[in-house]
Amino acid sequence: MDRRIFLKKTIISAAGLSVTPLIHHNYSALYGQDAPSNKIKIGLIGCRNQGWSNLKTFLQYPGVECISLCDVDDEWLYQRAAEIEKIAGKKPPQLVKDWRRVIDNKDVDMVIIGTPDHWHCLPLVAACEAGKDVYVEKPLANSIEECDLMVKATRKYNRIVQVGQWQRSDPHWDEAAAYVQSGKLGQVRTVKVWAYQTSKWTLPVVPDSTPPAGVDYDMWLGPAPKRHFNQNRFHYNFRFFWDYAGGLMADWGVHLLDYAMKAMNVGLPSYVYGAGGKFGYPDDAMETPDTLMATYRYPGFNIIWDHACGIGNGLFDRREGVAFFGENGTLLLTRQGWEVIPEQAVNSRSFPYCYPCDSEKKPNTLRIDPVAIRKGGGKGLYLHAGNLLNCIKTRELPNCDIAIGAEVAKLSHMTNISCRIGTALNWDNDKGVFDNKEANRLIKANYREPWKLPKV
């Protein structure tokens, strides 16, 4: 098949899109201003933690160069610039505090967005409009409305966007999903997904203070409501405040629920009930629930989400994971690998029952063969970066295309909305609305002036 037609077909079939003029350029000439080097030139927005991990990973590939760094905090901007000098021999020529300068920079081919969740949408839409490809961190955005807008912008401007759910490029996750889809587990009636985190237990209240020197705090807040600086709401801990993020649900939830949906081959549920709150630490500073359980209803099975801050004893003695409970056995999937624990017949027992009790199990009655742990390779992020670099050249959809990131981010917001208003919700996916006015208000992104939700 003609390559252009093939690529168009790949993109259209994967995205369910109408024909759009994506494949028009000679991309080997497009990337890199100076033809001999022909490098993909990267700009990073948000340098402190994951943005930096991403950039370092991209820099492991030949044919990649960082030419622009942006952070509202001088400390991280200059520290990362110095680290790049050690890696690449020179500092990036552009060091800025205003992300719009990265977008204006015509030499930047690809942007990494490593900012807090409330700062994903605007730079992504602007980057797409400026003809740049994007690696954007998960969860895709801080509201359902933004997620939809970002998908629209990506398609309108024909950009390649990879979302930072790097499990999508870590092969053992797809192997496990293929096993679930093989039917060997029998009917799967329940999928449990959990994150039990001892490392994020509580945030003691601290008074507001002045922002640290060298921080453009107004730019850090951006479209979020204006308020005094508080250390608790700043670097890393922004995760636990609604104005900027969605708590453990949106943080870990998108990584794991993505594979519950993928393996079960389903999209968003028509019903969600999230219940939880600040049960463990009612008086600490976090706004998001330290405990949350949610049910997503699908025909013939449920997906269950369960999280706890400050408790480490997750199911199967794993802090985080996804478990598919089938009639023949259970598949357990984590970042470390996957395994299958078969169901086995047991002798009928008399009181007092003893369970689990191996002596009660009938020999030779395993319903399926066990699968001993198949370890992951631990290279998910590296492969995810490589996949995007490849797709930038081929114009095929990347492993975690924006539509995938949007769907699971929306699921995490649906859960939080249900929990916040304290009621189960029905979701009409065609219309993108709940059956509840209060919940529908929380779908919206409310931007603080002068920032405006982009029009696409």
Ligand X SMILES: NC(=O)c1ccc[n+]([C@@H]2O[C@H](COP(=O)([O-])OP(=O)(O)OC[C@H]3O[C@@H](n4cnc5c(N)ncnc54)[C@H](O)[C@@H]3O)[C@@H](O)[C@H]2O)c1
Return residues touching ligand X (CB under 6 A): 45-51, 70-73, 76, 99, 114-117, 119, 137-138, 164, 166, 219-220, 222, 235-236, 251
**Contact partners, residue 342, CB within 8 Å, separation at least 6:** 328, 329, 366, 367, 368, 369, 370
Query: What's the closest the beta carbon of residue 456 comes to ligand X, in angstroms?
Result: 20
Based on CB atoms, which residue is closest to ligand X, 221 or 323? 221
Based on CB atoms, which residue is closest to ligand X, 65 or 73? 73
Based on CB atoms, which residue is closest to ligand X, 71 or 290? 71
Query: What's the closest the beta carbon of residue 224 comes to ligand X, in angstroms?
Result: 10
Query: What's the closest the beta carbon of residue 76 comes to ligand X, in angstroms?
Result: 4
Ranges of beta strands (E only) in 104-229 are 110-113, 133-136, 161-163, 188-197
Cα 261 from Cα 271, distance rounded (Å): 14
Q: Between helices 402-421 and 253-264, what is the axis angle to 10°? A: 110
Query: What's the closest the beta carbon of residue 61 comes to ligand X, in angstroms?
Result: 18
**Contact partners, residue 364, CB within 8 Å, separation at least 6:** none
CA atoms in the 13 A half-sphere facing the CB of 312: 3
Query: What's the closest the beta carbon of residue 216 comes to ligand X, in angstroms?
Result: 8
Based on CB atoms, which residue is closest to ligand X, 75 or 360? 75
Q: Nearest Cα to 322, choosing from 257, 252, 397, 244?
A: 257
Cα 370 from Cα 407, distance rounded (Å): 33
Based on CB atoms, which residue is closest to ligand X, 108 or 185? 108
Based on CB atoms, which residue is closest to ligand X, 103 or 442? 103
Backbone dihedral angles phi then psi of residue 393, each to the nearest 5 degrees: -85, -40
Query: What's the closest the beta carbon of residue 358 comes to ligand X, in angstroms?
Result: 38
CA atoms in the 13 A half-sphere facing the CB of 88: 23
